[in-house]
Amino acid sequence: MKTLTLSGSPRKTIGRTNAHSLRREGKVPCVLYGGKDIVHFEAIEKDFKHLVYTPDIHMIKLDVGGKQVDAIMQDIQFHPVTDKIMHVDFLEVIADKPVIMEIPVKIIGTSVGVKEGGKLLKKLSRIRVKALISKIPGTIDLNVEPMKIGDYIRIKDLKYDGVTFLHEQSVTIVAVKVTREVVEEVTPAAAAAAAVAGAPAATAGAPAAAAGATPAKEEKKAEKKK
pLDDT tens track for 159-203: 999 999 999 999 999 999 997 755 566 555 555 555 544 544 443
Domain(s) of CATH 2.40.240.10: residues in the chain: 2-94
Fold category of 2-94 in CATH: Ribosomal Protein L25; Chain P (2.40.240)
Q: Give backbone dihedrals phi and psi of 170, rounded to 5 degrees, phi first.
A: -85, -5
pTM: 0.71
**Residue 158: alpha-carbon gap to chain centroid:** 22
- Cα separation, 83 vs 91, in Å, equals 23
Residues 33, 92: contact at Cβ < 8 Å? yes
Per-residue pLDDT reduced to its tens digit, 63-102: 998 899 999 999 999 999 999 999 999 999 999 999 999 9
Instruction: Tell me how far apart the alpha carbons of residues 85 and 45 are, in angstroms, rounded to a whole number.
Output: 7
Q: What is the mean pLDDT of residues 39-45?
A: 95
For residues 78 and 100, give the distance between their C-alpha atoms in angstroms, rounded to a whole number.
21
For residue 220, what is the enclosing H or E element?
helix 205-225
Domain 100-182: homologous superfamily in CATH = Ribosomal protein L25, C-terminal domain (2.170.120.20)
